[in-house]
């Protein structure tokens, strides 16, 4: 059975007191999940706080980005080794905000995923099309290209230790969610594309959906055959919402 996950992406939100209340609730709720993992990917300065609040619970924590380089004169960057030192299990790579606002291309995303794996953590590799691309009918071509760049770099062994997230750009932070049918269709396409490389990797790969997931739509989205949970932005900042979404991922 595939691992089910609900991963919060806090983006650039939070403050020490707000985080503490949220993390304490996530820690308590994680113990009530039977098969899904609850995880939060927090801004770098809050990793120590996440570690101390979640250590000993069943919840995991991680980063939202990472340098492709192991160390050196890269002002403002954070290496995978540094994230590992703070107990991160997951690192998001290739989020559309990184691709669109900070110019990360497929090659950089692949190198970042490789850097995460080299430190024994799990990259959550994001792929997704813009609204213009969906309207042009090139969704599969776009997500196939994004996945292919990472898969070529990581190979079968690397893919086995990775998580994939389908996040249509037009659904992120917009309140517009892909319908369960739209999400399932792309997830199935991604799984088929993986199967052309390795059938067992395809069968075992958790593929998360992200894009305006809320407690109100999570059960239906996560009920689809190839949707193994979610990557959650805005709703992960509200404890009750995020915990309901974690329970939806638990099934
Ligand atoms: C995200 O940032 O990965 C995301 C899916 O955001 P939201 O849930 O707010 O759409």
Q: What does the pLDDT profile of the chain (251 residues) look like in tens digits?
A: 899 999 999 999 999 999 999 999 999 999 999 999 999 999 999 999 999 999 999 999 999 999 999 999 999 999 999 999 999 999 999 999 999 999 999 999 999 999 999 999 999 999 999 999 999 999 999 999 999 999 999 999 999 999 999 999 999 989 889 999 999 999 999 999 999 999 999 999 999 999 999 999 999 999 999 999 999 999 999 999 999 999 999 99
Distance between CA 170 and CA 172 in Å, rounded?
Answer: 6
pLDDT at 60: 98
Q: Is 234 in the pocket of ligand 1 (CB under 6 A)?
A: yes
Please identify, by atom number, the ligand 1 atom nearest to the C-alpha of residue 213: 8
Q: How far is the CA of 70 from the centre of ligand 1 (A)?
A: 28
pLDDT at 1: 82
Q: How far is the CA of 72 from the centre of ligand 1 (A)?
A: 31
Q: In terms of Cα–Cα distance, which of 62, 57, 58, 51 is closest to 20?
A: 51
Q: Are 92 and 124 in contact (CB under 8 A)?
A: yes
Beta strands (DSSP E) in 77-136 are 90-93, 122-127
Q: Is 232 in the pocket of ligand 1 (CB under 6 A)?
A: yes
Q: Is 172 in the pocket of ligand 1 (CB under 6 A)?
A: yes
Please indicate whether residue 95 is annotated as part of the active site: yes
Choose one of 40, 234, 241 to mutate for the ligand 1 pocket test, by most ligand atoms within 8 angstroms of C-beta: 234
Determine the angle formed by the axes of helices 106-118 and 139-160, rounding to 10 degrees.
20
Q: Is 213 in the pocket of ligand 1 (CB under 6 A)?
A: yes
Which residues lie below 8 Å from residue 239, measured CB to CB, with a gap of 6+?
Answer: 21, 22, 25, 26
pLDDT at 5: 98
Query: Considering 129, 133, 167, 241, which one is annotated as catalytic?
Result: 167
């Amino acid at each position: 059975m595939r691992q089910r996950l609900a991963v919060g992406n806090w983006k650039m939100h939070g403050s020490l007191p707000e985080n503490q209340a949220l993390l304490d609730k996530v820690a308590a709720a994680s113990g009530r999940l039977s098969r899904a993992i609850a995880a939060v990917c927090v801004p770098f300065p809050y990793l120590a706080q996440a570690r101390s609040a979640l250590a000993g619970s069943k919840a995991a924590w991680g980063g939202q980005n990472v340098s492709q380089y192991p160390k050196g004169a890269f002002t403002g960057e954070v290496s995978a080794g540094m994230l590992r030192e703070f107990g991160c299990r997951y690192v998001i790579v290739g989020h559309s905000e990184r691709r669109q606002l900070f110019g990360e291309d497929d090659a950089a995303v692949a190198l970042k995923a490789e850097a995460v794996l080299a430190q024994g953590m799990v990259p959550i590799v994001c792929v997704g099309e813009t609204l213009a691309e969906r309207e042009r009918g090139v969704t599969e071509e776009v997500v196939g290209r994004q996945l292919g760049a990472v898969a070529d770099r990581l190979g079968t062994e690397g893919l086995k230790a990775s998580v994939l997230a389908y996040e249509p750009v037009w659904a992120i932070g917009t309140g517009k969610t892909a319908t369960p049918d739209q999400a399932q269709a792309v997830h199935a396409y991604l799984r088929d594309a993986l199967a052309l490389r390795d059938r067992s990797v395809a069968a075992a790969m958790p593929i998360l959906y992200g894009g305006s997931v809320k407690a109100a739509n999570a059960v239906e989205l996560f009920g689809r055959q190839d949707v193994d949970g979610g990557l959650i932005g805005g709703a992960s900042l509200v404890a009750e919402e995020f915990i309901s979404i974690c329970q939806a991922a638990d099934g």
